[in-house]
Amino acid sequence: MLKRSVQLAFALIGATLGYHFGPAFFELLRESPLQLGEVPAPHYIGALLGAVLLYVATIWLSSNVVRWIRWSEERLVKIPAVDILFGALGLILGLIVAFLIESSLSRLPLPGLSSVLPIIASALLGYLGFRVGYKKRDELMSIFTMGRQNKDKDKKKEAKDVDHKILDTSVIIDGRIADICRTGFLEGTLVIPSFVLEELQHIADSSDVLKRNRGRRGLDILNKIQKELKMEVLIYEGDFEEVNEVDSKLVKLAKVLSGKVVTNDFNLNKVCELQGVKVLNINDLANAVKPVVLPGEEINVQVIKDGKEHGQGVAYLDDGTMIVIEGGREFIGERIDVLVTSVLQTSAGRMIFAKPKLLEKAL
Give Cα separations from 190 to 115, 146, 233, 266, 319 (angstroms).
74, 33, 5, 21, 27
The answer as to whether 21 is a domain residue is yes
The answer as to whether 70 is a domain residue is yes
The conformation of residue 308, written as its DSSP 8-state character, comes to: S
337 with 312, same domain: the answer is yes
- Domain of 322? 298-362
The answer as to whether 321 is a domain residue is yes
250 with 349, same domain: the answer is no
Quick count: other Cβ atoms within 10 Å of Cβ 251?
22
* Sequential DSSP letters for 198-263: HHHHHHHT-SSHHHHHHHHHHHHHHHHHHHHS--EEEEE----TT---HHHHHHHHHHHHT-EEEE
Angstrom distance (rounded) from CA 38 to CA 233: 94
14 with 84, same domain: the answer is yes
Answer yes or no: are the C-beta atoms of 15 and 52 closer than 8 Å. Answer: no
23 with 97, same domain: the answer is yes
43 with 115, same domain: the answer is yes
277 with 354, same domain: the answer is no
φ, ψ dihedrals at 74, nearest 5°: -60, -40
For 179, how many CA atoms within 13 A lie in the half-sphere containing its CB?
8
The conformation of residue 48, written as its DSSP 8-state character, comes to: H
184 with 279, same domain: the answer is yes
Give residue 151's identity as a one-letter amino acid code: K
Tell me the pLDDT of the chain (363 aa) as tens digits. Answer: 667 777 778 788 888 887 777 777 767 766 666 556 666 777 777 788 878 887 777 777 777 777 877 877 777 677 777 777 877 888 888 888 888 887 777 776 666 666 777 788 888 888 888 888 777 766 766 666 655 655 655 555 554 556 788 888 888 888 888 888 888 887 888 888 888 888 888 888 888 888 888 889 888 888 888 888 777 888 888 777 777 888 888 888 888 888 888 888 888 888 888 888 888 888 778 777 777 778 888 888 899 988 888 888 999 887 778 899 998 888 888 889 999 998 887 656 678 899 988 755 544
End-to-end CA distance of the chain: 98
Give the helix ranges, DSSP H, for the chain.
2-31, 42-57, 59-78, 81-106, 113-135, 137-144, 146-161, 169-174, 176-183, 194-204, 209-228, 246-257, 266-274, 282-288, 357-362
pLDDT score recorded for residue 363: 47
Q: ∠ CA(237), CA(208), CA(251), 5° rounding? A: 30
The answer as to whether 9 is a domain residue is yes
Domain boundary among 103, 137, 171: 137
The conformation of residue 163, written as its DSSP 8-state character, comes to: -
Scored b (16 or more CB within 10 A) or e, 337-360 reads ebbbeebeeeeeebebbbbbeeee
| Secondary structure of residue 3 in the 3-state scheme | helix
The CATH code of the domain that includes 275 is 3.40.50.1010
Angstrom distance (rounded) from CA 363 to CA 359: 6
Quick count: other Cβ atoms within 10 Å of Cβ 96?
12
The CATH code of the domain that includes 342 is 2.40.50.140
Number of domains in the chain: 3
Angstrom distance (rounded) from CA 65 to CA 7: 10
